[in-house]
Structure 1
């Protein structure tokens, strides 16, 4: 060891001793225990050798006893074949020696306590029979084959998109009694918004609802206009509301108005010169990348984009045109997934697609996508952006490749469509295409139909209710399907294993019981510095006070008993429910003859003159004595003359 290091260590120890003596204690805590590892290893090795030697001696004794027994039996049985006996003894001896050598080798390598009994039994079984080992290997191979089969089955389930449809459970939200024509889920999947033909927009919060599934807010943002479309922005903080009027609205998450689009001048011929729409709206949607931009289409023949920050004027105008160059009404519109293309389905059966930055000429145009005159209810882009699906009013569902837009890739027919807003959408894995079917009242059930994207075969159906399926929405984050029907219901389909949050949050909460809390019947005013004579007695219990108030007819609002007789205090008797019936009954019971009204009035003249009540008492002290003119003779003669002889003045 280096002497310099020894000196430094000794100096350090001396310094520690001086510091300890100055501070008044003997040391800086307990010293760490030191272990001699070499001694521990040596002790363990010797113990293992001794145990191994004891085991070896016991085995040798057992072998010797076994050999002696066999030799005695062989001597008794036969005396012949000494060579065979010697050979057998020699072979037996060699086997025992080899076994003992192997045991000694294994025992010499054994360090530590002996193996537990199950391992020794397993080793003996391995030594006893190779057939057992072979059968174990075959069993192991069988298990591996089973695992491979399970893995292949799991792979098949993963490849089969039908297995991923979340339809094992459902909840029903009662929006109203009329058609649910709009559905929207925010990007996180926490809130659902429904709109319908009853002008209402209802807000549903999955995390705040219980099993009663009641909406926490209901409002009519567009007064008496049917709601056509609802959609959350990409950030989920505002909602676009498109209704039957010409002005779209933007609401925040709580339903308060954020923006209202301006209305255009309906007397201007060129719709590009007006600041907004001049006819009812048909559809609308948000830009998938820009959170301030949204788009609307209207019966005025235009598709307009808007900016949330400027509500006085639209951002750009797209005007669909027919083959003859005439104005065409767009019935639905959407953005592509990257937001670079704008597509619109029109009333004449065409699908027109523009570049977002070039609003004059179309980039893709299919003139015979659907039957002319049938309103195309929905167009939707796939998640990869190369495929477009269109739901036509001619009871068809078509899929298009925008790289070859002249003819559809696949067509499905026989899907009845009675609404101008029937949806179609792609599954989150882009392998299925979903749409709803319409039915007439009391003539079947509306269905949710699933088509495979590659083969375009009907692979699955869900019967929703005995009404048309208008709206459908498959949320990619929740993996839940929302459906709006024609009888005012909004259904949510989910799977407890494959779905996440959403409807799973509210179905596990039990309904809250309304508890009536006991309240004080009157406020108790605390006056700590008032004199004892002015202090109010503190109420010890509300139950006694409630019992006293129950006996008070005014505080307990005791109903008044029925009136007996003609009535009093403005109330009528029990025989007449209304004042008119009371009057009619009294007139019918009145037996006086009022055929001569003068006699009916003079009946009360004597009583009025004897006991004046209304006018005379007020002027009793100041009223002079009345003087009436006496009848003259001329007047008497005039009265005696016949009527036809009287002089006309």
Structure 2
């Protein structure tokens, strides 16, 4: 088809001469064989500008028509008519090209439509034109949707900025450790296993993936005999556990509770504690190095903080000795590493907090003399995740935060937080925006609480009532986003949120309790002999149930036990008052009235019976014993034979 005729037809259909330039038909012809790219790009740009002006004019016309009360149907029909005509003119050329494929080499196709103009965009423009007043330039329906999404995202950002909404406390599970205080909690880095220790000397192991809704521990042991457990912590790799008890020797166990290492005990008669190989008094706390998996630290009543190496158990690695201003020995009650492991901090009984460089054990790097009330036990020190802030939980019912860059005064102080335990915890939330600690209560005088403070403003933003006992231990695992709490009545509670938390307690609450089955074990060892003769084969015993059924049919095995004997006894059985043979014999001896003081008479008393019924002695010598022959001389003859000098004179 001739391009000139196509242009004329297009002008007739559209009624507007600009349509050819808009649709790109004005450049048709054999002259377009030489491509001028600059001219094509310039024409495309002008076409896009003209089209945008044209669309704006149409929208303004529609607005005026709507204001005048005219129906929008005519507007739509006119617009669609023009669009259909343009589309017809647009898509005719490919048909002609396909019909005359042989002439396509000689005839070149003109510039294409602008890349911004697509059928999908036309449909969107139609949708925009069908709705009321026009939209401002550059504002489309897609932009409107994006603005709605932005509003939703802003609302989500507002909720994200509120750290209280991130607290996972919608659900909880309760693990029954015992009846006494849970004084130690430890969770491995992956969050798969929890270990609890208490005043009852027990250490219990809990596996979230292996538990069901019965929530039973898979192992319980007493690693330190009759010493209360003070602290439990998994190493960085989670393969060993540090056990700190009231003993002077810390222990290291593996994941299954078997002993790996026991620290050596020092010589208590040496004055300088730096010259002893280990602690000489009760331990108060301990923790692992956050970067080095073989190193851990302990503090004791002997006035030292010692670091240890897992590979050398015969001697400590280094010794830090807290001192008062007068240079006297003070007792450290808690100790911890900084997040990078370069600093060692200890809280002491005289109210001081002393911080050393890990590699310089002589002088302190930071020191606050009156951090807490002297004479009280600082129960916990915890560094924030950014390593700048240090939180301290004091025995004077306070919670304080410190900036280690300016360690003279606390940044914030919270009062009225009752503390009755020497190991009450405080910790930071995983996003470092909240600080949480527990409160203590006396028996039947209220509920222990978890109190949450905003780190910046240090305002009480949230509280959780745990149980009618003190809240002692506390963990907020950053990976699981779950809070573990140890209480004073032997419970270990786990708080979680199904949406915000991951794994951990959520693995065991979905498993049903296993039904208790009767133990079906073999009563005796069964030897399999497949080639034995039938007469020598043993019947295989499947379970105890079938064996018990067979035993019930056996009159000997199912014989009813004889009842206790009442009365003097019968059939060789002794009555209850003579329960044993010895008591029966003693009783008969006491009741025997015979007098055996004369041994000759006692023996001759059985002579007649022995002669009449010779059962014991005579039959044994019957065949070999000769017959006795006695002399039959009289007494008179014997007296006559005696000499005269032997005769007694009368």
Q: State the TM-score, normalized to the length of structure 1.
A: 0.71
* Structure 2 equivalent of residue 10 of structure 1: none
What are the ranges of 5 or more consecutive residues in structure 2 without an aligned counterpart?
A: 1-8, 14-75, 96-120, 629-650
* Structure 1 equivalent of residue 333 of structure 2: 331
Shift of 1:130: 5.7
Shift of 1:526: 4.8
Shift of 1:540: 10
**Partners of 2:453 and 2:528 in 1: CA distance:** 74
Shift of 1:511: 1.0
* Structure 2 equivalent of residue 282 of structure 1: 284
Matches within 5 A, 1:444-455: 444-455=446-457
**Partners of 1:539 and 1:201 in 2: CA distance:** 40
**Partners of 1:272 and 1:439 in 2: CA distance:** 40
* Structure 2 equivalent of residue 471 of structure 1: 473
Question: In 2 relative to 1, CA 123–268 (structure 1 residues): closer, same or farther, beyond 3 Å?
Answer: closer
Matching of residue 107 in structure 1 with residue 68 in structure 2: no
* CA deviation vs aligned residue, 1:258-305 (integer Å, no higher than 9, x gap): 111111110111111111111000000111111111111100001111
Q: How many residues were matched structurally?
A: 519
**Partners of 1:172 and 1:577 in 2: CA distance:** 53
Matches within 5 A, 1:69-468: 103-109=84-90, 131=132, 147-468=149-470
Say whether the 8 Å CA contact 2:522–2:543 is kept in structure 1.
Answer: no
* Structure 2 equivalent of residue 515 of structure 1: 517
Say whether the 8 Å CA contact 2:521–2:543 is kept in structure 1.
Answer: no
**Partners of 2:608 and 2:257 in 1: CA distance:** 75
Say whether the 8 Å CA contact 2:128–2:140 is kept in structure 1.
Answer: no
* CA deviation vs aligned residue, 1:214-237 (integer Å, no higher than 9, x gap): 111111111111110111111111
* Structure 2 equivalent of residue 579 of structure 1: 579
**SS at the partner of 1:131?**
coil
**Partners of 2:333 and 2:77 in 1: CA distance:** 97
* CA deviation vs aligned residue, 1:575-608 (integer Å, no higher than 9, x gap): x49938x979x98xx9x99697649999999985
**Partners of 1:566 and 1:189 in 2: CA distance:** 69
* CA deviation vs aligned residue, 1:487-511 (integer Å, no higher than 9, x gap): 1111111111111111111111111
**Partners of 1:578 and 1:410 in 2: CA distance:** 80
Q: RMSD of aligned C-alpha atoms? A: 4.2
**Partners of 1:317 and 1:101 in 2: CA distance:** 92
Question: In 2 relative to 1, CA 612–419 (structure 1 residues): closer, same or farther, beyond 3 Å?
Answer: farther
Say whether the 8 Å CA contact 1:594–1:600 is kept in structure 2.
Answer: no
Shift of 1:550: 1.9
Question: In 2 relative to 1, CA 267–608 (structure 1 residues): closer, same or farther, beyond 3 Å?
Answer: same
**SS at the partner of 1:153?**
helix
Question: In 2 relative to 1, CA 607–354 (structure 1 residues): closer, same or farther, beyond 3 Å?
Answer: same
**Partners of 1:264 and 1:540 in 2: CA distance:** 58
Say whether the 8 Å CA contact 2:523–2:541 is kept in structure 1.
Answer: no
Question: In 2 relative to 1, CA 604–318 (structure 1 residues): closer, same or farther, beyond 3 Å?
Answer: same
Shift of 1:151: 2.4
* Structure 1 equivalent of residue 632 of structure 2: none
Shift of 1:109: 3.8
* Structure 1 equivalent of residue 647 of structure 2: none
* CA deviation vs aligned residue, 1:521-552 (integer Å, no higher than 9, x gap): 66665545545554556789998765332222
Q: State the TM-score, normalized to the length of structure 2.
A: 0.71
Matching of residue 497 in structure 1 with residue 508 in structure 2: no
**Partners of 2:181 and 2:577 in 1: CA distance:** 42
Question: In 2 relative to 1, CA 559–474 (structure 1 residues): closer, same or farther, beyond 3 Å?
Answer: farther
Say whether the 8 Å CA contact 2:438–2:474 is kept in structure 1.
Answer: yes
* CA deviation vs aligned residue, 1:413-445 (integer Å, no higher than 9, x gap): 100000101111111111111111101111111
Question: In 2 relative to 1, CA 534–427 (structure 1 residues): closer, same or farther, beyond 3 Å?
Answer: closer
**Partners of 1:266 and 1:539 in 2: CA distance:** 62
